[in-house]
Amino acid sequence: MTTNVALMPAVDTPPESNRSRVDASLGMALFIGSWAMAFATMFLAFLVLRQRQEVWPPQGVALPSFAMAALATVVLLASSVTMHRAVVLGARGERGFARWWSATLALALGFAAIQSWLWVDLWGNGRLPHSGVYESTFYGLTWFHALHVAVGLIALIVGLIGIARTRYGAQHMNVPRNIGVFWHFVDVVWVVLFVTFFVF
């Protein structure tokens, strides 16, 4: 294991034990399970309402751009890859930690921009939340997901500050690792949303 001394924490906090790593991961896993139930509820509502509609998606009106949604999916999946890379390098105490983490943050911001474009585009075409079931579910689900993206963005920024101040590193990975877990979860939810909303 190559440990970069320059990236070791300057502060005198003791290294995290394997035990505290399991504690934190278990807590995070339970949080993710709970969030998954919240999203499952949203998807249940969406799928029930959708199968009631005779025509889906609605015909003869502007729809959210499939191409842009697909691009958003690619960007988000890429951010999951960079996040994974960052956490692996961070645990090894290597320099790439901060770089890959920043790349994740950049991709996350890119996703937020595309998502905003999707909303503005649809809104500009006169399709508002109260226009119909399609719009209700589209805005409802994407807003709820975007809320989690926003939380993820804040966590990514907080994580980056911590990395810059060498608060996180090879011996202090609990927080970055769990931010990573949360970010992967946000990605998975988007993929489900993309598949159920745009593909089928």
Partner 1 sequence: MSHDGIHPEPTSFLRKHVFSVDHKVIAKQFMWFGLVWLLIGGLMAMMIRWQLANPGEPFPVLGKLLWPHTEGVISPDVYNMLFSMHGTIMIFLGLTPLLIGAWGNYCIPLMIGARDMIFPTLNMLSFWTVVAGGAVGFYSLFVPLGALEAGWTGYPPLSSTVGTQGSGETLWAVAVFLIGASSIMGGINYITTIVRLRAPGMTWGRMPLTVWGLFFTAVLNVLFLPVIGSAMLLLILDRVFGTQFYVAATFSSGGGGDPILYQHLFWIFGHPEVYILILPAWGIVGDLLSFYARKPAFGYRVTVGAMFAVTVLSALVYGHHMFTTGLSAMLGESFMLLTMIISVPGEILFFNWLHTIWKGSLRMTTAMCFSLGVIFVFGLGGLTGLYLATISTDIFLHDTYFVVGHFHLTMAASALFGAFAGLYHWMPKMFGRFLDERLGLLHFWTTIVPLTIVFCTMFVSGYAGMPRRYADPTSAPYVAELQGLNTITSIAAFILGAAQLLFAYNFIKSRWWGKKCTEDNPWQVGTLEWTIPSPAPHYNFKEIPTVVTGPHEFSHPALGPDRDWISQTEPLPGTSPEPSSPAAPGAPVTA
Residues making contact with partner 1 (CB under 8 A): 17, 19-20, 22-24, 26-27, 30-31, 33-35, 37-42, 44-45, 48-49, 52-53, 128-130, 132-133, 135-137, 139-140, 143-144, 174
Could you identify the residue written with the tokens 């769990």? 178
CB of 163 to partner 1, least distance (A): 18
Cα separation, 146 vs 6, in Å, equals 37
CA distance 38 to 136: 17
CB of 16 to partner 1, least distance (A): 8
- What distance in Å separates the CA atoms of residue 128 and residue 139, rounded to the nearest whole number? 8
DSSP-assigned beta bridge partners for residue 172: 169
Give the nearer residue to partner 1 in terms of CB position, either 95 or 123: 123
CB of 103 to partner 1, least distance (A): 27
Nearer to partner 1, 80 or 142 (CB): 142
- Closest distance of CB 34 from partner 1, Å: 5
| Between 5 and 19, CB nearer to partner 1 | 19
Cβ closest to partner 1, residue 67 vs residue 126 = 126
Looking at the Cβ atoms of 5 and 54, the one nearer to partner 1 is 54
Most distant CA pair in the chain, distance: 64
Within the chain, residue ranges assigned H as helices are 18-52, 66-92, 96-124, 133-164, 174-194
Q: Tell me the closest approach of the beta carbon of residue 42 to partner 1, in angstroms.
A: 5
Buried b (16+ CB within 10 A) or exposed e, 96-115: ebbebbbbbbebbbbbbebb
